[in-house]
Structure 1
Amino acid sequence: MFVSGAAAISVRMALAADSPVADREMAAVLARIQPPKFPDHKFEIVRYGAAADGHTDSSDAIRQAIEDCSAAGGGTVVVPRGTFLTAAIHLKSHTNLRLEEGAILRFYTDPKRYPLVYSRWEGTECMNYSPLIYAFEQTDIAVTGTGMLDGQANTEIWWPWKGNARSGWKAGMPEQKSDRDSLMAMGDKNVPVSQRVFGPGHYLRPPFVQPYRCTNVLIEGITIRNSPFWELNPVLCRNVTVRNVKIDSHGPNNDGCDPESCDGVLIDNCEFSTGDDCIAIKSGRNEDGRRVHTPCQNLVIRNCSMKDGHGGVSIGSEVSGDARNIFVDHCRMDSPNLDRALRLKSNTYRGGVFENIYFTNNTVGQVSEAVVDIDFNYEEGNGGPHNPQVRNVVVENVISAKSKYALYLRGFKNAPITGVRLANCNFKNVAQPNVIENVEGLKLEGVKRNGQPLTQ
């Protein structure tokens, strides 16, 4: 183990007991998260003129079915077996968009089919292209069933805007960098959101599914592939359930599920194989995140499978509004293309508080970097006025079969990482010593690395 800076490590080799406090708190969070219910009314899109041929524009039919469903007091908009081509879908209150077995919603790749809406892009609010499925300030909404959402993004459309060759970009093609820099500057200068206008003529890719300021959201059973950007991105929502969802999308920034500034989120029994973080918990970036000032809190992630990605569960880096009361339990993370299992990332420009993070009863097959990574040096690193803070991170009953590092913890001298406790963990086939820089109060209880007690 490599230790530098202010490090005070307490080691006890007795086996750790289960955490009754964490279990009780997780149960309390779960009790408050209830999926929405819908009246038993059905609105079949084919009755509105939708065609299951994969090339007829079904956008108007789907829109009208949703409007009629909501106006009637709610129900289910049914997408039957077949392939339906559509532009942006905007959900309305009391509406469940259900994809039956064999149904595919295939989305246009023409950016002009995605009108300007109020959105958040990498943690900064703006007016941008509509997400492929979007809802704004709605109540009781859902996307369910066993069908598929196909964004059709690839190295010819959407992904090249990332601006690297791996994503299909070539010299002379448009890319996102100048727009991204412009938006971040607007956020830091508190430019009114109505004046942060992107969309047509700009190159900020939209997320796939983004409920915004919604209450009672359910996403269940569907498969998602080929997203332009982040896959599932509830923002400023309350009471969100994501269950039995399969995500297989390996484009740039293809995060699987990114709850932002939400309160009460359950992610249960989902499968992720992604081009970025499988799950990334966020709460806004830099000054704009502090302006909105809403934490992401009371989340339970359980029984999930994470394969390819930058992190199994990441928190940050856009965490300026804080993140707390997060429970990751009984998940499996395993792929040579998965970088880390648990990752907390920030810097002195993001700041933010990470508090009450519980990573328990999880199995890690292999990751290419660290099992547990807490790093304050992400992107801009040190030099800003907002020191991130870590309080009460518990890693317990975790087994890992192969990794480069067991622990990779890097704070700052003026902002050390504090309050991290590991208990009853076994890290096998670890290639490199731990990296621990500027960490205070690290507790290791019954922890082994390569068969040996981890002492210092």
Structure 2
Amino acid sequence: MLKFCLYIGVIFATLTSNAQKNTLPPVKKVAFKNATFSIVKYGAVADGITHNTKSINDAIIACNKNGGGTVLVPKGIWLTGPIVLLSNVNLHLDKNALLQFTNDLNQYKLIETNWEGLKAVRNESPISATNATNIAITGSGIIDGNGDAWRMVKKDKLSDSQWKNLLKRGGVVSDDKKTWYPTPSSFAGSKVDKPGVMAGNKTIQDFVAIKDFLRPNLLVLTKCDQILLEGVTFQNSPAWNLHPLMCTNLTVRNVYAKNPWYAQNGDGIDIESCKNVLLENSTFDVGDDGICIKSGRDEEGRKRAMPTENLLVRNCTVYHAHGGFVIGSEMSGGAKNIYVEDCTFIGTDIGLRFKTTRGRGGIVENIFVNNITMKDIVGDAILFDMYYAAKDPIVLAGEKREAPVVEFKKVDETTPQFKNIYIKNVVSNGAERALFVRGLPEMNIHDIAIENFTSVSLKGIEMSEAYNFTLKNCKFIVSETTPTVDVLNSHDIDFVNILPITTAPQLIRIGGERSSNIHWFKNKVNDIKTKTIFEFGATDKALQIND
């Protein structure tokens, strides 16, 4: 097992040190003609009440027909409906330019698209591009998706005053009085099984009655190549904020993605089935996952067979979010060759979040994480979970959740995998739990190494159904008196040079008859055997202490 730790450590050191030396394929850069097309010349008016949809799209079409260049959005409030980017166009927002999308939901037509990895019908996105090459959105202005006109809101996520003010807007409250919907059409969608999903002989007309429920993502780029998003604030999205889908050569730099914390599905960026990506120097403060990696859902994702690969994330900050850096749960096409370094997560529900569930399939592998700082994490600093249930990671007040039933299933193409993941140099100051690992009995989470991890948390480590897992040079400062290390039905686990600081009478609890080959190397705890308990069929033979 130590051979694995040292071996993958060498790989990590080699690859991450060369990440900026083009170990990954270089991301092709955009380039534009020196020509400017101001939206004002095409009739746009910055009065906040004139709909400028035609003027802005006319400027984009003219720019494209003339070989490309920059479409300029000057300072001011520019009200608009959906905008479609075309090849060789840089949509540039001057400082103090606010591109405000309309709250008239009729301006957005229903279209066939993709939602959470499935073929679906949704409303047209405020900004989109399909099969475009050499495109950009740059500048220092703001793009506002008017998400409050679209999104439902859970009562438990608001104060009493906020809830009462929300009700003054009208809308519809759910039967259990816990969720507000902005329109009857939106409420009707909540009653439909798998709303928006295209199945059988359904057509767009079958979704008209629930149109308002089918919230669009703010920016969707589909099958585009050579993309730059730089400097702009993307905020208040109806659903996901930034969604590049099946794109190549994507650069995202110095952007700010911002959503209310109560925004359901209000992700910051979802990079789905993309190849050759650089995400750097950006900030996310959103209602769902911050930086999220996806590749399609279930059978459709496996048929697409397009992993997200060759991705470098660096120097990013995530504030409120369900997860700081996230892979899944729609990862059926796989994810590989991903590097995350020099990032900070403050106040996120989870820090590093790897999530999936049975039925997805797909392999997440060759993930390298280095130099991560976390503060005030609400839940787990690091999480691997193969029982994701499409719920918020933090249980809301009054909500009850049952633990999943553990049973063996047959391994087939629907079985997901997490493997070959290396995490190094992590500091987490304040979390509910330092590390949570929950694999499947038929497919354990495996070949994982975590090195130089310092955590201050209420709880320590909870691990089940894992093997070939190494923790090395870690310090866990734990305030609760439950066992600091809790291992269930896991084998070939190495704890190397671990310093636990706890008042708990038991340091380690090992459970399950399938637990074996758990090693504690370079012991820093006196009389560790008396501080270990064995339960649920585990025996003292499962633990080996090597000083």
Fold conserved between structures, TM > 0.5: yes
Contact 1:129–1:200 (8 Å) recurs in 2: no
What's the counterpart of residue 425 of structure 2?
A: 397
Matched, 1:420 2:448: yes
Does structure 1 residue 158 correspond to structure 2 residue 168?
no
CA distance in 2, matches of 1:193, 1:417: 39
CA distance in 1, matches of 2:67, 2:201: 35
Match status 1:370 vs 2:383: no
Number of residues paired by the alignment? 437
1:210 is matched with 220
Alpha-carbon contact 1:339-1:368 (below 8 Å) kept: yes
2:464 alignment partner in structure 1: 437
- 2:362 aligned with 1:352: yes
Work out the CA distance in 2 between the residues paired with 1:269 and 1:328: 12
Match of residue 379 from structure 1:
389
Shift of 1:182: 4.5
Q: Percent identity?
A: 33
Give the 3-state SS of the residue equivalent to 2:295 in structure 1. Answer: coil
Structure 1 residue 360: deviation in Å? 0.5
1:353–1:11 CA distance, 2 compared to 1 (3 A): closer
SS of residue matched to 1:330: strand
Write the distance in 2 (CA, Å) between the matches of 1:242 and 1:89: 20
* Alpha carbons 1:138, 1:215 under 8 Å: kept: yes
Question: What pairs with 1:290-301 in structure 2 (closer than 5 Å)?
Answer: 290-301=302-313
Is the 1:315–1:345 contact (alpha carbons within 8 Å) kept by the matching residues of 2?
Answer: yes
User: What is the rounded CA distance, in whole Å, between the counterparts of 2:23 and 2:220 in structure 1?
Assistant: 23
Q: 1:102 to 1:185 in 2, by over 3 A?
A: closer
Structure 1 residues 12 and 60: alpha-carbon distance in aligned structure 2, compared to 1, 3 A threshold: closer
* 2:173 paired residue among 161, 165, 170: 170
Change (3 A) 1:222 1:448: same
Q: How does 1:13-52 map to 2 (within 5 A)?
A: 19-24=13-18, 27-28=21-22, 31-52=25-46
- SS of 1:298's partner is strand
Q: CA deviation at 1:113?
A: 1.0
2:202 counterpart of 1:181: no
Query: Quick check: 2:5–2:449 contact (8 Å CA) kept in 1?
Result: no
Q: What secondary structure is seen at the aligned counterpart in 1 of 2:457? A: coil
Q: Which amino acid aligns with 1:278?
A: G
Alpha carbons 2:237, 2:259 under 8 Å: kept: yes
Q: Distance in 2 between matches of 1:19 and 1:177?
A: 49
1:64 pairs, out of 58, 67, 73, with: 58
Asked if the contact 1:126–1:194 (Cα under 8 Å) also holds between the matched residues in 2, the reply is: no
RMSD: 2.6
> Deviation digits for residues 232-270 of structure 1, max 9, x if unmatched?
000000011111001221221110000111111111100
Q: Which has the higher contact order (CA 8 A, sep 6+)?
A: 1
2:237 pairs with one of 227, 233, 241: 227
Contact 1:30 1:266 in 2 (8 A): no
Is the contact made by 2:218 and 2:239 (CA closer than 8 Å) also made in structure 1?
A: yes
Contact 1:11-1:444 within 8 A present in 2 as well: no
Q: 1:450 aligns with which of 450, 455, 477?
A: 477
CA distance in 2, matches of 1:142, 1:40: 14
Deviations, residues 298-345 of structure 1 (Å, cap 9, x unaligned): 11111001100100011000111111111110001112xx11111110
Residue 200 of structure 1, CA deviation: 6.6
Q: Which runs of 5+ in 2 are unaligned?
A: 159-165, 167-171, 176-183, 391-403, 479-497, 501-519, 521-542
Change (3 A) 1:31 1:192: farther
1:326 and 2:353 matched: no
Alignment of 1:257-276 (within 5 A): 257-276=269-288
Q: Provide the residue aligned with 1:5 in structure 2.
A: none
Residue in structure 2 matching 1:137, options 131, 136, 159: 131
Q: Assess, with a 3 A threshold, how the Cα gap between structure 1 residues 352 and 182 changes in structure 2: closer, same or farther.
A: same
Partner of 2:265: 253
Where do 5+ consecutive residues of structure 1 fail to align?
1-7
2:420 and 2:25 map into 1 onto residues whose CA distance is 23
Which structure's CA Rg is the greater one? 2
Cross-structure match for 1:93: 87
Q: Is the 8 A contact 2:112 2:204 kept in 1?
A: no
What is the aligned counterpart of 2:103 among 86, 105, 109? 109
* 1:29–1:300 Cα contact (<8 Å) kept: no
